[in-house]
Structure 1
Amino acid sequence: MTKMSRLPSPYGDCVPDGLTSNYIYSGYRYSTEGCYRSCFQDLVVRECGCGDPRFPVLNNSMHCQVFDPEARKCLEKRTNELGNVHGSFRCRCQQPCVQSVYTVSYSAAIWPSQSLNISLGNCNKGQEECNEQYM
């Protein structure tokens, strides 16, 4: 895990935590992907009168009903038009000021390696037997 810190205005262009409006993922940290989804949902609600059921809607909106042919047609049309909202200029989504980035690494080492020293609180066996619990 790498923790990133960016400077807000006037030094940088990031979004301070908690300073987002129309963010559909209330209770969660701001992310650029969440911003794009919020923008997409906002555009769909404005043009169709209801939101895409795949994403949350804000309190004053409702999801499109599956049995409503007009809503389904509008939703399908807007999804095709707005499908690449990331590259368009219709949404402006900045990076968050504080962000944790996780990276994955792979190893070709044999498990368990000889250098492994796991001490389990409830394991009263030898190291080899304790390591077996992780396999």
Structure 2
Amino acid sequence: MYGNCYSFNTGANGADIIHTSKPGPSTGLQLTLFIEQNEYLNGSTENAGAVVLVHPPDTVPFPEEQGLELPPGFSTSLGVRLSVIERIGGKYSDCIKAGEMPLLYKGYNYSVEACVKTCYQNTLVNDCKCFDTTLPNDKPIPACVDGTKRTRRCMYGMANKQKTDALGCREKCHQPCSGRSYKETVSMSHWPSYAFDDKLYERLSKRSSKIKETLLDHNESRRNLIKLKVFFSELNFESITEKPAFDSVDLLSNLGGLMGLYIGASVISLFEFLEFVGKVCCLIKTKWNVSDEANIRVQMG
């Protein structure tokens, strides 16, 4: 929520996007993080480490809610695989297309979390007449933490309602019709090893005098250093596309087949019934003629 946040390979400010043509850790991103535990606030910072989130560059990252925690003293390998999802909108689902839902995060595509944050901020602005400083705002109103007791109480009340979804933001923010995500495979091992500690200290101490003063023994290295590897486990990707199981063409085709079957059977039955009636009439007429001929013979006789 309040730590330093860095983004890699976003293409922001005209920077080139770095590409890779091979899977595996050797062609991915490798970071050595120095977390400086001696600067943590006493009684306030519960966890030691860092948080990492792999996301498409056109969506807003929320590492405090979606990220993976990295503990110090470990080397974490994060193998990712791209997944592309295409949902059907309109009459088939309530997914949201790009541009349909206005967001406070300008320049980014729609995502569920960005929509929920926007809904929460708009509720604060409309009901409490103040805004949350951790979220974007484009209204000329004061911050909730700098306002009166009423505005602060209003913000705390809205925050509690947001946790239980009493504001209904989750119901309004449906899944995007088109989106990308990354499936992650995590593996970890202790790092650095005792055999590598001296060499690592020699290499890192040249970077900063503070590192040189802090990493005086192996225990300090385990307390303050994190190794992270992010790479593509496979260069192929998974594509999930929704299609209607029963579209209008199939409906008309099946209706035509059923109508042909039932109407055909009805017509055949109708002709068979008419044929039966005709045979009965012919039989009655024949018997009637035979009876008349017999009467005539009797009268003549």
Taking structure 2 as the reference length, the TM-score comes to 0.32
How far off its partner does 1:27 sit?
Answer: 0.9
Q: Distance in 2 between the 1:65 and 1:80 partners?
A: 15
- The CA deviation at 1:60 is 3.1
Question: Where do residues 1-135 of structure 1 align in structure 2 (5 Å cutoff)?
Answer: 1-21=82-102, 23-57=103-137, 59-62=138-141, 64=143, 66-70=145-149, 71-85=151-165, 88=166, 90-91=168-169, 92-106=172-186
Residue by residue over 1:55-93, the C-alpha shift from the partner in whole angstroms, topping out at 9 and shown as x without a partner, is 112x335451533233323212221232232xx462211
Partners of 1:14 and 1:97 within 8 A in 2 = yes
Decide which moves more: 46-55 or 59-68: 59-68
The structure where helix makes up a greater share of residues is 2
* Higher strand proportion (structure 1 or 2): 2
Taking a change above 3 Å as real, the CA distance of residues 20 and 98 of structure 1, as seen in their structure-2 partners, is same
Cα shift at 1:105: 1.2
Counterpart Cα distance in 2 of 1:63 and 1:32:
27
| d(CA) in 2 for partners of 1:106, 1:24 | 33
Using the TM superposition, name which of 12-21 and 1-10 deviates more: 12-21
* Structure 1 residues 100-132: Cα deviation after superposition (integer angstroms, max 9, x where no partner): 110111458xxxxxxxxxxxxxxxxxxxxxxxx
Q: TM-score, normalised on structure 1? A: 0.66
**Structure 1 pair 61/96, CA: closer, same or farther in 2 (3 Å)?**
farther
CA distance in 2 between partners of 1:68 and 1:89 (Å): 22
2:127 maps to amino acid: E
Q: Per-residue displacement from partner, 1:35-61 (whole Å, max 9, x unpaired)? A: 11111111111111111111112x335
Secondary structure at the counterpart of residue 2 of structure 1 = strand
1:84–1:24 Cα change, 3 Å? farther
DSSP 3-state at the match of 2:183:
coil
Q: In structure 2, what is the Cα distance between the partners aligned to 1:43 and 1:3?
A: 32
Change (3 A) 1:81 1:107: closer
Aligned length: 105
Contact 2:161 2:167 (8 Å CA) reproduced = no
* Cα pair distance change 1:61/1:90, threshold 3 Å: farther
Secondary structure of the structure 2 residue equivalent to 1:104? strand
Bigger radius of gyration: 2
Look up the equivalent residue of 1:100 and give its one-letter code: R
Q: For the Cα contact (< 8 Å) 1:52–1:63, is it kept in 2?
A: no
Calculate percent identity across the aligned residue pairs: 29
